[in-house]
Amino acid sequence: MQTQPVPPWWIPLVVAAASLAGVLIGGGMSFLTAYLTSRWQWKRTRQDTRDEARRAAIKGALKWIDPMYAALSTAELQTFRLFSQFGDVQEFEENYPNLLQMLPNFDLPEHHRLLLPPHSYESGAVIVRGLEGLKYEALDLWANVHDPHDSPAIREIDARQQCSARADVVRKQIDGLQEELARAYQQTYE
């Protein structure tokens, strides 16, 4: 009868160590996968919450656009009426739109202003100042047109062109603000 050779004493230790290493590596990979997945979900939830807040702020700022366009249209109409044969300074001042009074209805809370694209709130203020500048420029030009020492017909045409050019600048500013806000809104879905 032949006896079986006895395996060396270290083989069971190697088998046990390999099994233990497999369990540790598998457990470590499971832990790492679970950690990275939960971390990614947390970041995604946080980003979604931030994007939702930005969308709400931008929606609020987009509400400025319609009153700005309406005020500009009214301002142009009043400016051209001022330079017509029926122009009256008092009527012009009474009917000229006051955008500053209209916009507080659409004002944003401070925490929403922080979520707007850079300089968009300031751009709104520039537009308000531009509209007020159009008013005072029209009044100055009207005074120059009605100066008895100059030819009013030529100056009236020049005055209308200057007012129209100023209104175009304000319109481009409103267009730019609207485009900037629309772009920022679309980026919240990327």
Mean pLDDT of the chain: 86
Angstrom distances, CA of residue 89 to CA of 69, 144, 147, 179: 23, 13, 14, 35
Higher pLDDT, residue 110 or 42? 42
pLDDT for 129 beyond 80: yes
pLDDT band at 133 (very low <50, low <70, confident <90, very high): very high
**Which of the residue ranges 1-10, 72-81, 123-132 would you say has the lowest mean pLDDT?**
1-10
pLDDT for 57-70, tens place per residue? 899 889 889 999 99
Domains of the chain: 55-187 (1.20.120)
pLDDT for 77-114, tens place per residue? 999 888 887 778 899 999 999 887 877 767 777 888 88
What value does the mean pLDDT take over residues 32-52?
90
Q: Name the token pair of 60.
A: 């609020």
* Side-chain-facing half-sphere of 79: CA atoms under 13 Å: 30
